[in-house]
Amino acid sequence: SFDSKFIYQQRGLGPIEEDTILVIDPNNAAVLQSSGKNLFYLPHGLSIDKDGNYWVTDVALHQVFKLNANNKEAPLLILGKSMQPGSDQNHFCQPTDVAVDPDTGAIYVSDGYCNSRIVQFSPSGKFITQWGEESTKSNPKPGQFSVPHSLALVPHLGQLCVADRENGRIQCFKTDTKEFVREIKHASFGRNVFAISYIPGLLFAVNGKPYFEDQEPVQGFVMNFSNGEIIDVFKPVRKHFDMPHDITASEDGTVYVGDAHSNTVWKFTSTEKMEHRSVKKAGIEVQEIKESEAVVETKMENKPASSELQKMQEKQKLIKEPGSGVPVILITTLLVIPILNINLREVREEFWEDLEGSGGLNLGNFFASRKGYSRKGFDRLSTEGSDQEKDDDGSESEEEYSAPLPVPAPSS
C-alpha cells in the first residue's frame, strides 16, 4: 500500500466514509457516540488530552489531528502535510502515537514507522524540538529507536516513556531536557514491545508474537514504575492475543487492549477487591459475575508486590463499583486496527451488548458490514515480520459478542 518512498498508493479510495472513532460505555457495552467519517485513510494512534480532545495519527496521510470530541466539524489542529512523508519540522513519516502533557500542553509525537524520532510541539502546534535516531541492529544505544510505537507520559516525574517496538524495550526521557533516564527491558518481553500505558505507580505494556525459535508468549505486563520490575502478567483465559497493538489503563486500574488482527478489544479488571472472585495460587477463578459487570477473565501469574506499591494501589482505589466506569474511546479503521483510550466524560446514550465469557468486543461483524473497504495499510509498515499475518483456522469455539451497527442519524 506504500511505495518505496512511503507514499500511500490507495489514495483513490478516498477517506473512510464511516465513523472511525467510537465512544463506548464499558459497563453496559453501549456505543455512546461516533465520529471521524470522511477524514482518515489509515488512522493508527488515539489519545485524549485533559480537555477531552482527541489526538489521532494517520499513517497514510502522515499527519496528526486534534479533534473536538463534541464537534464533528473541521479538526482544531493538523500537524504534517497530507500524503507527504518527510523528516523535517513540517513533515512526518507514518506517525504512530501522540501524548499531550496535562500541565504544559506540550505535544509529543512518536514518528514513527519510517522515522526514528520523537517530535515536540507547542500547544499551538509550533515545532519545538526533536530527538532520537535510527538504532543499530545490535546493542541499540539510549535515544536510538526502531519503530517508536507508543508513548506514555509520567507528568509528576516529568518523564516521557517510549515503546521502542522493534528493540523490545521501553525508554524513558526527561521532558524538559530530553535526557535519557532509563531503559526497561525484560527477557519476557521477547523481541517487541508494542504499546505502553501509565497510571500513578504502574506501567502497563503488551508485547508481540514470538518468532519461530522464541518461547516468550504474547501477553500483557504490569510493572512497578519506580524499579521497572514485573508485578503481574495477564492474557485471556480461553482465548489468546493475536496481535495486541495498543494498551491503555484507566485510573481505576482497568486495562484495555486492542488487538489488530482479531478486531477485538479486551477488558481486564483488577480483582483484589472484586466480589464473586477468589484468587488462587495459580490464577484467578471466576465464580460469579453480575449482569452489570463486563469483565474479562484474566490469567495472572502473580509476583510479589512491595508494600509501598500495595499502599499506593490502595490509595488509588483501583477497583470501581459496577456502573461507575468511564467511557472507552475506540478508534477503528474499517479493516484492521482497534486503538483505544479513556475519556473521563459523562455517559450520554446507550448501545452495545453485554460482555460475558470471553469479555472481548469482537468488531469483525462491524467491519464486515461497512462499505466494502479493502485497505491494506501494514504490509510495508511491518519491520522484520512484526506485524504478523493472521492465521485463522476457524477452530475457536468460544462465544464472542459483536457490536451492532450504529443507528444512522436522521437526515436534515
Q: Which residues define the annotated binding site for Zn(2+)? A: 44, 149, 245
* Cα–Cα distance measured from residue 158 to residue 189, given in angstroms and rounded to the nearest whole number: 25
Q: What are phi and psi of 80, to 5 degrees?
A: 90, 170
Measured between alpha carbons, how far apart are the two ends of the chain, in Å?
Answer: 37
* Cα–Cα distance measured from residue 220 to residue 207, given in angstroms and rounded to the nearest whole number: 7
The residues near 405 (Cβ < 8 Å, ≥ 6 apart) are: 366, 369
Annotated binding site: 44, 46, 113, 149, 165, 245-246
Q: Using the structure block, give the residue that is written with the C-alpha cell 496528526.
A: 64
* Cα–Cα distance measured from residue 271 to residue 205, given in angstroms and rounded to the nearest whole number: 19
Annotated binding site for a protein: 113, 165
- Cβ pair 235, 269 in contact under 8 A: no
- Cβ pair 219, 203 in contact under 8 A: no
The residues near 188 (Cβ < 8 Å, ≥ 6 apart) are: 207, 216, 221, 230, 233
* Cα–Cα distance measured from residue 386 to residue 381, given in angstroms and rounded to the nearest whole number: 9
The residues near 140 (Cβ < 8 Å, ≥ 6 apart) are: 146, 164, 167, 169
Q: Strand runs (DSSP E) across 252-326, as ranges?
A: 255-259, 264-268, 277-280, 283-286
Annotated binding site for Ca(2+): 46, 246
Alpha-carbon distances of 385 from 124, 164, 211, 334, 391, rounded to whole Å: 37, 16, 9, 22, 14
Q: What are phi and psi of 4, to 5 degrees?
A: -65, -15
Selection from 166, 96, 169 nearest residue 377 by Cα: 96
* Cα–Cα distance measured from residue 304 to residue 326, given in angstroms and rounded to the nearest whole number: 29
What are the cell numbers at 363?
Answer: 468488531
* Cα–Cα distance measured from residue 28 to residue 95, given in angstroms and rounded to the nearest whole number: 33
- Cβ pair 194, 214 in contact under 8 A: no
Residue type (1 letter), 101: D
What are the cell numbers at 327?
Answer: 467511557
Q: What are phi and psi of 408, to 5 degrees?
A: -60, 140
